[in-house]
């Protein structure tokens, strides 16, 4: 399934620059100069319509005239010329192209047409294209600089992919000041051909790359990204900053349940599912690349903090706990061991305050004990310069003790010149150092979350098909296929509950009544009080047409409700929208109201939702998204992302809800969505969760339009 390798782009033996010129300040000149200023071990062919040389290098009229094979063409000519150039490249057997030129889809329809023309000519020929509208590509470990940037990235182990050329320039400038080195430095432009997925696979295989860092503005081909990231993140950390959260914030204002799944939240769910770490600050992007490349992954969120001063330890604790990290609870053994090596006044707990006069030996002994504690998932060592403090020698001793520990260790040597030598010692030993203790704690929070996401990848649901599956699929199909002849896409509440019930999701006993007398009879059979609701094949929001009447105590009340509904529907939307009512027993609302749903994302297909339901759903937005399919472990991860989980576990002496049953319900709900791609939206709201039972009180299913063929229905973006 994989496309041809990107070696021609990253490791070319010959590069043609189409549009090379000598004009001062021109992109064509800069690209050519960059290529020849940094030896990459290959040959450069400037292509110019008339000149015999450019910058003293023999030039050629066009690609066909170039003597010898060309691996990579770098194109800087005006946009309208590019399709023909690409055609020539394909004919000449060029394997890769970087289109730096702008003037394509970002300028409107004509530019978009040019892009299509390029794709038509390139597809099938096996040529890979980066761009258009990009800064170019650097491969610092091989020496290649095929960009029009002002400088060259330092060689190193970070593979950097950016969707913003301007940011590339700024990062390049900043990275030389901060001595950050790169294995690859890619400006992707508008990703006409080579996309995130291609680059992730390529850098995943690249031995020089230890971590992959991305600045992302749009996801592009979601499936390609997901597959590549799920595979590669198991061996190399992938860290992304993705802009556009605030768009989601804006959409949040448009408060309609159907739009709950804001696309940025879906991306978050996708990143979690494929083990990608998303950071919020540009300043964290490269810091996390460094930390994750240098340090092992924590196996949990429990940090032990070791310090020679109280204040910095508390600062770190505040930040740790504020973002759901935990202070490790030291074992009895560790406490006794620390008692033996520390002065009497030590803090006797975590943070381990080893007192201001701590010297290198005390630091080393306490570090050894803290690291050995099985409750410790990671260690932060803080040093403030005080009497007796020896920052450098302490660093050396810590490095010795930490050795090849399988647990991550971070350090915070606070201060300026006094501690510089110490931080150098730590950095050389791959122990990351931070100026501030709270920053270090934030980094640890990123680390355990990232590790937790990675563990989720292993949990790829595989689902044995059994007889039950066949039955429930058949039942759901029967209900849904019955709607096809009428072209109906909205299931009534009654029909929706039938589908859910087929998948073992408990629903309120609900019966149909086509006449008022039938409604009265049904109510009598069920027993008062009852609820009467509109049954309509067309009306989505029943309460908008006075279609919900609760706690009816008598036949009179039922008849009254019937007439109110019939009149309101007739008046507001027309009598054709009234197909009787449903009659349900009144359930005691003694549990928590949850929402379970699925809606479609344009990029990721079906997206699952779990959270707090009821009237305040829009206010608290306490919800988690996930991509189907689920297993119980993934279902539990969704539940754990909400705040309502605390209530479900039982608060203030209340009994807990059966969380295992809730996991199972989510998995069956996910199965339904996967089995029946015809379903576009489905909401259970509320799902009543009490210690004794789970119960879908109301449900709504909407189908994809029947004009969409079965084969074209969106499928889950995660495939096993």
437 contacts its own copies (rule: CB under 8 A): yes
Q: Token digits for 710?
A: 């079965």
Please give the torsion angle defined by the CA atoms of residues 257, 262, 267 and 270, in that order, rounded to the nearest 10 degrees: 10
In whole angstroms, give the CA distance from residue 438 to residue 429: 22
Measured from the CB atom, the residue of 96 and 111 that comes closer to its own copies is: 111
Minimum distance from residue 107 beta carbon to its own copies (Å): 8
Which member of 91, 361, 435, 705 binds its own copies (CB under 8 A)?
435
Nearest to 274 by CA among 350, 323, 204: 204
436 contacts its own copies (rule: CB under 8 A): yes
Minimum distance from residue 400 beta carbon to its own copies (Å): 24
In whole angstroms, give the CA distance from residue 535 to residue 549: 12
Minimum distance from residue 388 beta carbon to its own copies (Å): 9
647 contacts its own copies (rule: CB under 8 A): yes
Phi then psi for residue 533, to 5 deg, are -130, 150
Residues 387-426 that bind its own copies (CB under 8 A): 387, 414-419
Minimum distance from residue 287 beta carbon to its own copies (Å): 12
Tell me the pairing of strands 592-601 and 581-585.
unpaired
CB 670 within 8 A of CB 695: no
Which member of 3, 5, 176, 331 binds its own copies (CB under 8 A)?
176
Residues 662-681 that bind its own copies (CB under 8 A): none
* Total chain residues near its own copies (CB under 8 A): 79
Which member of 89, 315, 665, 702 binds its own copies (CB under 8 A)?
315
In which element (H, E) is residue 662 found? Answer: helix 659-675
Nearest to 633 by CA among 600, 601, 670, 597: 670
C-alpha dihedral sign at 571, 572, 577, 580:
negative
Measured from the CB atom, the residue of 340 and 652 that comes closer to its own copies is: 652
Residue-wise DSSP of 464-509 = ---HHHHHHHHHHHHHHHTTTTTT--BPPHHHHHHHHHHTT--B--
Tell me the pairing of strands 144-147 and 136-139.
antiparallel
CB 248 within 8 A of CB 264: yes
Measured from the CB atom, the residue of 517 and 553 that comes closer to its own copies is: 553
C-alpha dihedral sign at 14, 15, 18, 24:
negative
Q: Which stretch binds its own copies (CB under 8 A): 165-173, 459-467, 504-512, 695-703?
A: 165-173
In which element (H, E) is residue 336 found? Answer: helix 332-341
Q: Would you tell me how many other CB atoms lie within 10 Å of the CB of residue 615? A: 8
In whole angstroms, give the CA distance from residue 72 to residue 98: 8
Which member of 113, 170, 482, 509 binds its own copies (CB under 8 A)?
170
Q: Which stretch binds its own copies (CB under 8 A): 364-372, 531-539, 567-575, 618-626?
A: 618-626
Q: Which stretch binds its own copies (CB under 8 A): 247-255, 286-294, 364-372, 679-687?
A: 247-255
The distance of Cα 555 from the centroid of its chain, to the nearest Å, equals: 54
Minimum distance from residue 644 beta carbon to its own copies (Å): 6
Measured from the CB atom, the residue of 279 and 679 that comes closer to its own copies is: 279
* Interaction pattern, residues 13-42, with its own copies; x per rule: CB under 8 A: ------------x-x---------------
244 contacts its own copies (rule: CB under 8 A): yes
Minimum distance from residue 25 beta carbon to its own copies (Å): 8
* Interaction pattern, residues 204-243, with its own copies; x per rule: CB under 8 A: -----------x-x-----------------------x-x
The distance of Cα 415 from the centroid of its chain, to the nearest Å, equals: 36
Which member of 474, 514, 643, 656 binds its own copies (CB under 8 A)?
643
109 contacts its own copies (rule: CB under 8 A): no
Measured from the CB atom, the residue of 500 and 648 that comes closer to its own copies is: 648
660 contacts its own copies (rule: CB under 8 A): no
Which member of 17, 226, 266, 320 binds its own copies (CB under 8 A)?
320
In whole angstroms, give the CA distance from residue 179 to residue 160: 15
Residues 516-555 that bind its own copies (CB under 8 A): 553
Measured from the CB atom, the residue of 129 and 319 that comes closer to its own copies is: 319
Which member of 36, 55, 112, 321 binds its own copies (CB under 8 A)?
321
Measured from the CB atom, the residue of 460 and 543 that comes closer to its own copies is: 543
Residues linked to residue 72 through DSSP beta bridges, in sequence order: 15, 96
User: Does residue 148 sit in helix, strand or coil?
Assistant: coil
Q: Which stretch binds its own copies (CB under 8 A): 112-120, 171-179, 531-539, 557-565?
A: 171-179
In whole angstroms, give the CA distance from residue 716 to residue 380: 41
Q: Would you tell me how many other CB atoms lie within 10 Å of the CB of residue 600? A: 17
In whole angstroms, give the CA distance from residue 247 to residue 263: 9
Minimum distance from residue 202 beta carbon to its own copies (Å): 23
Minimum distance from residue 499 beta carbon to its own copies (Å): 26
Minimum distance from residue 104 beta carbon to its own copies (Å): 14
In whole angstroms, give the CA distance from residue 27 to residue 35: 12
Which member of 37, 53, 65, 255 binds its own copies (CB under 8 A)?
255
The distance of Cα 15 from the centroid of its chain, to the nearest Å, equals: 36
The distance of Cα 300 from the centroid of its chain, to the nearest Å, equals: 20
Minimum distance from residue 173 beta carbon to its own copies (Å): 3
In 298-397, where do the E strands start and end? 302-307, 326-327, 352-353, 378-383
In whole angstroms, give the CA distance from residue 183 to residue 160: 8
Minimum distance from residue 20 beta carbon to its own copies (Å): 17
Q: Where are the alpha helices (DSSP H) in 77-134?
A: 82-91, 109-122
Measured from the CB atom, the residue of 482 and 619 that comes closer to its own copies is: 619
Measured from the CB atom, the residue of 128 and 449 that comes closer to its own copies is: 449
CB 20 within 8 A of CB 59: yes
183 contacts its own copies (rule: CB under 8 A): no
Measured from the CB atom, the residue of 50 and 615 that comes closer to its own copies is: 615
Residues 330-389 that bind its own copies (CB under 8 A): 345, 356, 384-387
Which member of 150, 514, 656, 693 binds its own copies (CB under 8 A)?
150
C-alpha dihedral sign at 352, 356, 358, 359:
positive
Measured from the CB atom, the residue of 436 and 706 that comes closer to its own copies is: 436
Q: Where are the alpha helices (DSSP H) in 482-554?
A: 493-502, 516-526
Residue-wise DSSP of 619-637 = HH--EEEEPSP--HHHHHH
509 contacts its own copies (rule: CB under 8 A): no
280 contacts its own copies (rule: CB under 8 A): yes
Residues 75-94 that bind its own copies (CB under 8 A): none
Measured from the CB atom, the residue of 8 and 270 that comes closer to its own copies is: 270
Q: Which stretch binds its own copies (CB under 8 A): 35-43, 167-175, 205-213, 566-574?
A: 167-175
Residue-wise DSSP of 250-267 = HHHHS--GGG-S-HHHHH
Minimum distance from residue 381 beta carbon to its own copies (Å): 14
Measured from the CB atom, the residue of 391 and 580 that comes closer to its own copies is: 391
173 contacts its own copies (rule: CB under 8 A): yes
C-alpha dihedral sign at 134, 114, 66, 11:
positive
């Amino acid at each position: 399934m994989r496309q041809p390798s990107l070696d021609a782009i990253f490791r070319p033996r010959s590069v043609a620059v189409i549009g090379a010129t000598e004009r001062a300040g021109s992109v064509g000149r800069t690209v050519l100069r960059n290529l020849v200023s940094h030896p990459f071990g290959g040959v450069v062919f400037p292509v110019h319509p008339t000149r015999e040389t450019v910058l003293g290098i023999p030039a050629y009229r066009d690609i066909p005239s170039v003597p010898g094979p060309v691996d990579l063409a770098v194109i800087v000519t005006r946009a309208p010329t590019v399709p023909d150039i690409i055609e020539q490249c394909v004919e000449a057997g060029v394997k890769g192209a970087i289109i730096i030129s702008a003037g394509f889809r970002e300028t409107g329809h004509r530019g978009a047409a040019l892009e299509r023309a390029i794709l038509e000519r390139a597809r099938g020929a096996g040529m890979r294209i980066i761009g258009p509208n990009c800064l170019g590509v650097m491969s610092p470990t091989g020496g290649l600089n095929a960009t029009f940037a002002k400088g060259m990235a330092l060689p190193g182990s970070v593979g950097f992919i950016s969707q913003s050329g301007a940011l590339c320039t700024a990062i390049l400038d900043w990275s030389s000041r901060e001595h950050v080195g790169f294995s690859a430095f890619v400006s992707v432009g508008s990703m006409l051909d080579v996309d995130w997925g291609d680059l992730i696979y390529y850098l995943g295989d690249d031995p020089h790359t230890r971590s992959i860092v991305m600045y992302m503005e749009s996801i592009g081909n979601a499936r390609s990204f997901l597959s590549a990231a799920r595979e590669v993140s198991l061996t190399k950390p992938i860290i992304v900053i993705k802009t556009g959260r605030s768009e989601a914030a804006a959409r949040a204002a448009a408060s309609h349940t159907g739009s709950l799944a804001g696309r940025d939240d879906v991306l978050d769910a996708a990143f979690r599912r494929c083990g990608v770490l998303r950071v919020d600050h540009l300043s964290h992007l490269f810091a996390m690349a460094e930390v994750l490349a240098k340090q092992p992954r924590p196996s949990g969120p429990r940090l032990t903090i070791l310090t020679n001063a109280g204040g910095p330890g508390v600062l770190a604790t505040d930040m740790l706990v504020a973002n759901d990290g935990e202070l490790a609870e030291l074992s009895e053994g560790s406490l006794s061991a620390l008692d033996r090596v520390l002065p009497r006044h030590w803090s006797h707990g975590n943070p381990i305050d080893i007192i201001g006069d701590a010297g290198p030996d005390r630091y080393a002994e306490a570090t050894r004990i803290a690291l050995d504690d099985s409750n410790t998932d990671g260690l932060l060592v803080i040093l403030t310069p005080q009497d007796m403090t020896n920052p450098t020698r302490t660093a050396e001793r810590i490095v010795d003790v930490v050795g090849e520990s399988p647990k991550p260790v971070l350090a915070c040597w606070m201060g300026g010149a006094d501690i510089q030598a110490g931080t150098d010692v730590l950095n050389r030993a791959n122990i990351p150092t931070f100026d501030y203790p709270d920053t270090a704690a934030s980094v640890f929070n990123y680390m355990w979350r990232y590790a937790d996401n990675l563990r989720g990848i292993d949990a790829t649901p595989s689902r044995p098909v059994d007889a039950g599956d066949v039955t429930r699929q058949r039942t759901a199909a029967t209900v849904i296929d019955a709607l096809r002849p009428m072209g109906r896409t909205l299931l009534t509440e009654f029909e929706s509950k039938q589908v859910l019930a087929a998948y073992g999701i408990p629903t309120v006993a609900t019966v149909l009544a086509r006449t008022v007398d039938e409604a009265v009879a049904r109510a009598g059979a069920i027993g008062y009080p009852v609820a009467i609701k509109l049954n309509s094949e067309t009306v989505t929001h029943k309460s908008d047409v006075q279609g919900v009447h609760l706690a009816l105590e008598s036949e009179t009340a039922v008849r009254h409700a019937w007439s109110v509904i019939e009149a309101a529907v007739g008046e507001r939307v027309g009598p054709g929208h009234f197909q009787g009512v449903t009659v349900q027993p009144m359930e005691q609302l003694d549990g928590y109201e949850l929402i379970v749903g699925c809606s479609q994302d344009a990029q990721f297909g079906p997206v699952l939702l779990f959270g707090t339901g009821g009237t305040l759903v829009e206010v608290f937005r306490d919800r988690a998204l996930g991509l189907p399919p689920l297993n119980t472990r993934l279902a539990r991860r969704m539940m754990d992302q909400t705040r309502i989980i605390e209530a479900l576990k039982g608060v203030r002496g209340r009994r807990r809800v059966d969380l295992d049953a809730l996991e199972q319900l989510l998995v069956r709900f996910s199965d339904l969505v996967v089995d029946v791609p015809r379903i576009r939206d489905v909401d259970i709201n509320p799902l009543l969760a009490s210690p004794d039972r789970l119960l879908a009180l109301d449900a709504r299913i909407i189908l994809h339009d029947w004009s969409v063929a079965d084969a074209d229905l969106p499928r889950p973006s995660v495939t096993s």
